[in-house]
Chain A
Amino acid sequence: MMANLLEHMGMEKDRVQFSWISSAEATKFATVAREVAQSVEALGPNTKFVKGSD
């Protein structure tokens, strides 16, 4: 719900992500980490909610 409100306020959806990884799932961790990093990279640097940006 928090992510929904952030999106509602104009934050891009992929900037906040959630996942659920067990401590045994190192492979999943690496995969998801790569996904998250890529999707954020695709969005480029963030300008919203940054202190001192305005």
Chain B
Amino acid sequence: MSETKQTKVVSFLCNWCSYGAADLAGVSRMQYPENIRVIRIPCTGRMSPKFVLSAFREGADGVWVSG
């Protein structure tokens, strides 16, 4: 753990859309910030407000939902 707290963004990515895009970005060696923490969900339809709140509960600084 670093001394200064780094902001963490919990990202809920749809398996078929943004997760694919993230994968492609990785394969293409594109840079994106390291404070994006990815959680793969089967579909954005799986998203629930509970997830957002529990992310904050556990100390996330931001939540990003992407389909």
- A residues near B (Cβ < 8 Å) are 2, 6, 14-30, 32-34, 36-41, 43-46, 48-51
Contact = CB atoms under 8 A, between A and B. Distances in A.
Interface residues of B, number: 37
User: Main secondary structure on chain B at its contact with chain A?
Assistant: mixed
Contacts of B58: 51
Interface in B3-62: 5, 7, 9, 11, 16-25, 27-28, 30-33, 35-36, 49, 52-53, 56-62
Given A37-B35, A41-B35, A26 B64 contact: no
Contacts of A37: 7, 9, 32-33, 35-36
Interface of B: 5, 7, 9, 11, 16-25, 27-28, 30-33, 35-36, 49, 52-53, 56-67
